[in-house]
Amino acid sequence: MTDILGISAFYHDSAACLVRDGTVLAAVQEERFTRKKQDAGFPGNAIRYCLREANCALTDLRYMVFYDKPLVKFERLLETYLSFAPRGRRSFVTAMPVWLKEKLFLKSLLCKELAALAGVKKSALPPLLFTEHHEAHAASAFFPSPFRTAAVLCMDGVGEWATTSAWLGQDNQLTPLWDIPFPHSLGLLYSAFTYYTGFKVNSGEYKVMGLAPYGAPKYVQTIYDHLLDLKSDGTFRLNMDYFNYCTGLTMTNERFHALFGGPPRPPESLLRQQDMDLARSIQDVTEEIMVRLARTMQRETGADNLCLAGGVALNCVGNGRILREGLFQDLWIQPAAGDAGGAVGAALAAWHQLDEQPRVSRPAGHDGMQGAFLGPAFSNAEIEQFLKAQDAPYMRLSDAELYDRIATELASEKVIGWFQGRMEFGPRALGARSIIGDARSPKMQSVMNLKIKYRESFRPFAPSVLRDMLLVAPVVESRRTAMTAAQQALWGIDLLNVPRSDIPAVTHVDYSARIQTVHAETNPHYYRLLKAFEAKTGYGVIVNTSFNVRGEPIVCTPEDAYRCFMRTEIDTLVLGNCVLDKIDQKPLVEDTDWRKEFALD
């Protein structure tokens, strides 16, 4: 048997992945089933789905592979405690009972859960293996990439010890080059500023990145003078006198707060110019580190290509900087760059590194992630069965009718819930579970943020354009709109209301855009919709945001999508070939304070 199950769990964003003969058949995050954002529990639903998709039983598997080594992580916790004792006592006392009870005995916990899932005794389970955390990230970045040889850079908060690691990928082998150990961590440095500016650690980092263009890099020198010793090769050490994550239960301490003039911004309170300036400063420092590390890797490996993974690789603005520096001919980023992607890496590491199986040959330029469409799909028959059970009025259209009608609705500024084919793996919606709108509409950014997603108005949206993702590029000069003198005098969040181009909904205040290019082979429905919209308007670009409200995981099933449609001001819902108009629907009978269902992210 060649089927391998990869598992990421018990930290944040649990996921499962199934690899057959070196090809990723299925991958999905547990949150999509439990509807609990970044669910860190045992991914039982995700595993069941992967097995169903591959039509195999758990007991048929060659291996089950977990994405980190719990005992090494325990060693790190213990050593950190000892080196910071007695200051670390509080966090130690909080963390240890959990670790001792649950995580230290993780192997037996995993075996127990897996045996229960399969309905067999533990002794009947296939072998359970463990990769190192960064090895899983590196494998997820290199093995599905289109490259035979590449430098591989992983950056995250922390796994066992490594927080940044450098690898050389050649065919079916990954060779470790060097790493930067805990507590010196680019991911945790960024998270410290995420915490200090009032956002949630492990999910608000993306907001800090989106806020950065509204600010000035006022604190860059302060960061270099006090918090960070950055070497010319990109390696760094943090000054732990300013951080609390080794010893306490917060990210930053009083000394950090004094350095920036006060306590952290309370969550959900008004954003200040200082928060924007801090966001811009940490973003600039992060980009500088990313570029220096990439340059060092190019010099040391001589590779033409670079692969990225780890949570920091979700910083698409930093990735865009690396690309534009021209250090490498090509760049490939694991779409599930955070810990969910560790499930893919763990399975592929066992197949290539342990079993020494060759890489799968693919056409030039093609990667092994199938456009990240690796989750559940629902047929028109299943969708209609659900809609009939709901007694929800809908129309089933042919493909041609569907694309034409939705292109027309988009052009008249309607907001569309778009649900097609297999769900995306990773944090970004790419046209399978998306809310979409007309990028030319000046009101679209605020309508989508405030009336659809119920989230902060400054958050930028991504354009989907015909013809890789996780990158940020500047909008061309010819499409930009020059600012008047009065507009140029504006600062901070006031800049939000100044149209920056003829596609204002997707042009950020610094003229950047978080581009997703849409390919006919991997994303045929979405591609054809964009084609229809282009034929009607001359613009092959639309706004795309994930199909969810703030704090909710991306919708998975027709039921999730219908509920989100009914709770928000989305005008039209498309489920496969079925179209639902909001005005035809009878109001959803349910509790009125449903928003409490999802904790704010």
- Footprint on this chain of Fe ion (rule: CB under 5 A): 156, 339
Q: CA angle at residue 135 from 168 to 78, to 5 degrees? A: 130
CB of 163: closest distance to Fe ion in angstroms? 9
CB of 97: closest distance to Fe ion in angstroms? 24
Nearest residue (CB) to Fe ion, 39 versus 339: 339
Nearest residue (CB) to Fe ion, 30 versus 53: 30
Asked if 420 contacts 526 with a C-beta cutoff of 8 angstroms, the reply is yes
Nearest residue (CB) to Fe ion, 68 versus 552: 68
What does the block give as tokens for 259?
Answer: 């350095």
Nearest residue (CB) to Fe ion, 132 versus 339: 339
The residue to which tokens 């400063």 are assigned: 281
CB of 118: closest distance to Fe ion in angstroms? 28
Count of CB atoms within 10 A of residue 481's CB?
Answer: 14
> Coil, strand or helix: which one is 579?
strand
CB of 285: closest distance to Fe ion in angstroms? 20
Output the CA torsion 77→81→82→87 (10° steps): 170
Residue 495 has φ and ψ, to the nearest 5°, of: -65, -20
Q: Which helix (H) or strand (E) holds 121?
A: none
Asked if 341 contacts 309 with a C-beta cutoff of 8 angstroms, the reply is yes
Nearest residue (CB) to Fe ion, 339 versus 424: 339
What does the block give as tokens for 599?
Answer: 């904790």
Q: Where are the beta strands (DSSP E) in 289-411?
A: 305-309, 330-333, 395-396
The residue to which tokens 């994930």 are assigned: 546
CB of 73: closest distance to Fe ion in angstroms? 11
Alpha helices in 70-132 (DSSP H): 70-84, 89-98, 106-118
CB of 201: closest distance to Fe ion in angstroms? 14
Q: CA angle at residue 195 from 208 to 38, to 5 degrees? A: 80
What is the Cα 336 distance to its own chain's centre?
6
Nearest residue (CB) to Fe ion, 312 versus 452: 312
Nearest to 83 by CA among 251, 237, 240: 240
Nearest residue to Fe ion on Cβ basis? 156
Nearest to 393 by CA among 554, 548, 566: 566
Asked if 445 contacts 578 with a C-beta cutoff of 8 angstroms, the reply is no
Nearest residue (CB) to Fe ion, 156 versus 571: 156
Nearest residue (CB) to Fe ion, 76 versus 508: 76
In the chain, the amino acid numbered 363 is P
Asked if 154 contacts 137 with a C-beta cutoff of 8 angstroms, the reply is yes
CA 315 vs CA 109, 208, 319, 405, 528: distances in Å: 34, 10, 6, 36, 29
CB of 14: closest distance to Fe ion in angstroms? 13
CB of 446: closest distance to Fe ion in angstroms? 34
Nearest residue (CB) to Fe ion, 134 versus 265: 134
CB of 160: closest distance to Fe ion in angstroms? 10
Longest CA–CA separation in the chain, Å: 74
Nearest residue (CB) to Fe ion, 156 versus 560: 156
Asked if 358 contacts 171 with a C-beta cutoff of 8 angstroms, the reply is yes
In the chain, the amino acid numbered 341 is G
Nearest residue (CB) to Fe ion, 338 versus 540: 338
CB of 564: closest distance to Fe ion in angstroms? 29
Nearest residue (CB) to Fe ion, 185 versus 557: 185
Strand 416-419 and strand 433-438: the pairing is: antiparallel
Nearest residue (CB) to Fe ion, 245 versus 256: 245
Cis before 86 (ω within 30):
yes
CB of 137: closest distance to Fe ion in angstroms? 6
For residues 581 and 433, give the distance between their C-alpha atoms in angstroms, rounded to a whole number.
18
CB of 142: closest distance to Fe ion in angstroms? 15
Strand 541-546 and strand 462-466: the pairing is: antiparallel
CB of 68: closest distance to Fe ion in angstroms? 8
Residues contacting residue 511 through CB under 8 Å, at least 6 positions apart: 474, 475, 480, 500, 501
